[in-house]
Amino acid sequence: MPASITPGVGPDARDDLVFLDEAPAPAQTGQRADRQPSQPLSQQTSWRVLIVDDDADVHSTTTFALAGLEVLARPLEFLHARSAAAARELLAHEPDIAVILLDVVMEQPDAGLHLVRHIRATLGMVDVRIILRTGQPGYAPEMDAIRDLDINDYRTKSELTRSKLYTAVAAAVRCYQQLRALSAGRAGLERIVEAGAELMTLQGPREVARSVLVQAAALLGQQPDGVLCARDGGQLRVLGGEGSGRDLEGGPPEVHVDHRLGDRIGASLRRAFDQQAAAFGPGCLALYFPGKSGRDFAAAIPLRQPVSEGARRLLRVFTSVVSVGLDNLELVGRLNNAAFFDRLTRLPNRTRLVEVLDETIAAAGGSGAHGPDSTLTLVDLDHFAASNDALGHGFGDLLLVAVAERLRAKLHPRLFVARVGGDTFAVLGDGALNTPATIHSLFEAPFSIDGHDVQVSSTLGLVRLNEHDGGGANALKDADIALKRAKAQRRGGHFTFSRGMGVEIRERVRMMHALRGALERRELFLAYQPQVDLSTHRPFGAEALLRWRTADGKNVPPDRFIPIAEYSGLIVEIGGWVLREACAELMRIRAAGYLDFTMSVNVSQAQFRHPQFVDVLCGALSETGAPAQYLELEITESMAMEEPQQLAEMLGQVKCTGVSIAIDDFGTGFSSLSHLQRLKVDRLKIDRTFVTEITGSARGSSIAEMVIQLGRNLGLSVIAEGVEDERQAQILHALGCPLAQGYLFARPMSPPALLEWLDGQLERTT
Ligand code: C2E
Ligand code: MG
Ligand code: MG
């Protein structure tokens, strides 16, 4: 609603509000001034005052009244809107307005107040100062609206004499300037905190330099420009640059900086380093960042305008935050080094190798075809442990360093060399360069250690990445499998992993997991194969044989799962259960009237050598009440050959319990006679292959015959296993073998079937 502005009533005549026809024409309604939005305060050259009023006279009188006035050494600049709607539109594009002189009553009686809400709440312009004006005192807004909407002043137009208007606007401008400085400071501080946090996430000096320069530029209100340099042992190096300093990284700044950025920058930089403090030179600035670990840093930045006191204060905070950040980065760098490099040889370690393997595999594009011909070779030093023990660890360390040095120096530079374990190195890269022949040739010349020539050989395990599935860790595991295979075959040789090996091993791992819960799930049970007297065919005992039927009804052969149970140590628990179960079955058979019946139980090496074995055995006997003299333990011949002294002691303890011992699969190992005598075993079981041989090969009965002879000479009982036909039985009997076990007599069977079978045999033979 238009309101006429009445002449001032102040004592000063110049204080009158004057209406001048020649007043400068107000800018078009809603007109945009041609300037960048939200300039830093330091770059603004005038204070912008927006006049919102539906009375054209008010626009002209206001601009006239305030014409030529300066606040804080800057002139006022006016923007005009003739309605609340026009003001909204203008404000949407013009963020840098210091003061709004706002008519309350326009399109609606409270259009002005609505506009204020829009400015504060919707546009979020909290710094702009607002002076409400109204022609009619009756339209005064509520007090709480003035407070809530942060309105600076409320005046009737009649109150606003020239001097009062000036005072109100000047006070509002000052207020705005302080609010802006505070906001800029707050934004600057937020930025600094973010800069510190961001530094920790960056990788590489270039990124760090970029971040520092961009953040500094934001605080200065200019485009990113300049360089970040590090001083390391007196040497200056450009870490990275922006703007005119871009592409300077890596070089010594003396040459480039002066040349590319100008002498002044170079001079500021040197001053900052010399004085270990920020250097504000004409047209340029050098920030100094002290470092804790023998390195310090400085950023040289060309200046587009003088730096305000507020910005200087912010830069000081920025410098200390960045210094801490750079220190942390150094620390992280060193931790990184410790995490990814071997301290002794300074080669990348296993962790780093897996990373590089992963990268190589990923670069070759997922699974299947990993890197056209990339090969991973594990290089294991032969007999390193022995020489380490014999000549001392100092010697061993020197040898490792020498080997690392030779691999690094002599292999093609494109190949990646790492140390993955004590005496194991890895070579990764192009299969044409990374061959067993190349690597073996590096070990032809002796290594000179402490003035001695030391000849070292190596065994290699290889994996071709393009024939391999899975990630880096998997490739390394497979190379390890190949290496183990190579070592088992021949020292100084090599073995290449094949896909088939992987499948087999994964299958075994799967089986091991499945076996773990098999006992609780009652998937394991025992079958019993009768043993008979060859002359009468009367049963005298049975061998307990372990069976595994998985949840899906598959029978896993013992030859497959028992080695896994042994390898994983599960056999200790499973074997304990077998012993108890077989003893319990023995008691049931005895209860059925077979009091002379013997139960044979197979015992694995891992189980037998377990410190608790004798306790487990005694436990099984006492728990079930089984008489020890009717229990026989079968140990294999190969097992009897290992560590004979220890085994003899073990067997002594076992025999004290009263159980007897049979040597299973006899004839396959290399038992010496004296050895056998010392072991004090009770029975020899002729291995099935020699029983088959009796009728199946030209060599005939030679070995079976020998074993029978041996038994007789040593006073040991002998049993033939795997007897499948009548002829075998007859020959064995003729050779003097008293006992037998085999499909000819009975297959392994369940406990009820065994009892039934025994009853049948009893009827037949009595
Ligand atoms: P082993 O102790 O030599 O057991 C004899 C194997 O020969 C059994 O195989 C049996 O079924 C098989 N057999 C018996 N008579 C004949 C025959 O006439 N012809 C043929 N071709 N085979 C015959 P099985 O049950 O598959 O057991 C294989 C091996 O697994 C056993 O050889 C033994 O070393 C091991 N094993 C079985 N049960 C246990 C156990 O509870 N603990 C341990 N540690 N090992 C066990
Ligand atoms: Mg056996
Ligand atoms: Mg056997």
Query: Do residue 491 and residue 520 come from a single domain?
Result: no
In percent, the amount of the chain with pLDDT more than 90 equals 39
Q: Whose CA is nearest to atom 21 of ligand 1?
A: 722
Domain assignment present for 120: yes
Which has the higher per-residue pLDDT, 141 or 740?
Answer: 740
Measured from the alpha carbon of residue 529, the closest ligand is 1
Give the C-alpha separation, 465 to 358, whole Å: 11
Query: Do residue 178 and residue 208 come from a single domain?
Result: no
Give the CA dihedral 689, 693, 695, 697, nearest 10 degrees.
Answer: 140
Query: Do residue 520 and residue 624 come from a single domain?
Result: yes
Give the C-alpha separation, 445 to 436, whole Å: 16
Any idea what the CATH number is for the domain that residue 311 is in? 3.30.450.40
pLDDT band at 699 (very low <50, low <70, confident <90, very high): low
Query: Do residue 163 and residue 231 come from a single domain?
Result: no
Query: Do residue 211 and residue 133 come from a single domain?
Result: no
CA of 229 to the centre of ligand 2 (A): 77
Domain assignment present for 193: no
Q: Rg of the Cα trace of the chain?
A: 47
Last residue of a domain, one of 151, 184, 217: 184
pLDDT tens-digit profile of 323-354? 887 877 776 666 667 778 888 998 999 988 99
User: Which region among 40-49, 476-485, 495-504 has the lowest average model confidence (pLDDT)?
Assistant: 40-49
Q: What is the mean pLDDT of residues 150-175?
A: 81
Question: Which atom of ligand 1 is least distant from the CA of 634?
Answer: 2
pLDDT of residue 335: 66
pLDDT band at 30 (very low <50, low <70, confident <90, very high): very low
Q: Are 136 and 1 in contact (CB under 8 A)?
A: yes
Q: Are 46 and 77 in contact (CB under 8 A)?
A: yes
For the chain, the average pLDDT equals 83
pLDDT band at 533 (very low <50, low <70, confident <90, very high): very high
pLDDT tens-digit profile of 209-229? 888 898 888 888 888 998 888
Query: Does the structure show a pLDDT above 70 at 22?
Result: no
Give the C-alpha separation, 547 to 138, whole Å: 102
Which has the higher per-residue pLDDT, 182 or 497?
Answer: 497
CA of 569 to the centre of ligand 2 (A): 19
pLDDT band at 140 (very low <50, low <70, confident <90, very high): low
Q: What is the mean pLDDT of residues 253-276?
A: 73
Query: Do residue 321 and residue 355 come from a single domain?
Result: no
pLDDT band at 368 (very low <50, low <70, confident <90, very high): very low
Query: Do residue 483 and residue 588 come from a single domain?
Result: no
CA of 749 to the centre of ligand 1 (A): 12
Query: Do residue 662 and residue 737 come from a single domain?
Result: yes
CA of 563 to the centre of ligand 1 (A): 13
Domain assignment present for 621: yes
Query: Does the structure show a pLDDT above 70 at 261?
Result: no
Q: Cβ(604) to ligand 1 under 6 A?
A: yes
pLDDT of residue 14: 37
What domain range is 534 assigned to?
A: 510-760
Q: What is the mean pLDDT of residues 383-404?
A: 87
Query: Do residue 489 and residue 535 come from a single domain?
Result: no
CA of 664 to the centre of ligand 2 (A): 6
- Among 567, 578, 602, residue to substitute to test ligand 1 (most atoms within 8 Å of Cβ): 602
Query: Do residue 696 and residue 589 come from a single domain?
Result: yes
Give the C-alpha separation, 515 to 556, whole Å: 10
Environment class of residue 429 by beta-carbon count within 10 Å: exposed (0-12), middle (13-18) or buried (19+)?
A: buried
Query: Does the structure show a pLDDT above 60 at 257?
Result: no
Question: Which atom of ligand 1 is least distant from the CA of 566?
Answer: 44
pLDDT of residue 9: 34
Any idea what the CATH number is for the domain that residue 522 is in? 3.20.20.450
Question: Which atom of ligand 1 is least distant from the CA of 724?
Answer: 18
Q: Are 494 and 486 in contact (CB under 8 A)?
A: yes
Give the C-alpha separation, 122 to 274, whole Å: 51
* Residue that the structure tokens 């920030």 belong to: 287
Give the C-alpha separation, 113 to 111, whole Å: 6
Give the C-alpha separation, 682 to 75, whole Å: 117
Q: Cβ(722) to ligand 1 under 6 A?
A: yes
Any idea what the CATH number is for the domain that residue 46 is in? 3.40.50.2300
pLDDT band at 470 (very low <50, low <70, confident <90, very high): confident
Query: Do residue 488 and residue 530 come from a single domain?
Result: no
Q: Whose CA is nearest to atom 4 of ligand 1?
A: 545
Question: Which atom of ligand 1 is least distant from the CA of 557?
Answer: 26
pLDDT of residue 20: 31
CA of 568 to the centre of ligand 1 (A): 20
What are the residues whose beta carbon lies below 5 Å from ligand 3 (ion)?
664-665
What is the tally of structural domains in the chain?
A: 4
Establish how many alpha carbons lie within 13 A of residue 502's alpha carbon, considering only the half-sphere containing its beta carbon: 18
Query: Does the structure show a pLDDT above 50 at 36?
Result: no
pLDDT of residue 700: 64
pLDDT tens-digit profile of 315-325? 888 888 888 87
Query: Does the structure show a pLDDT above 80 at 3?
Result: no
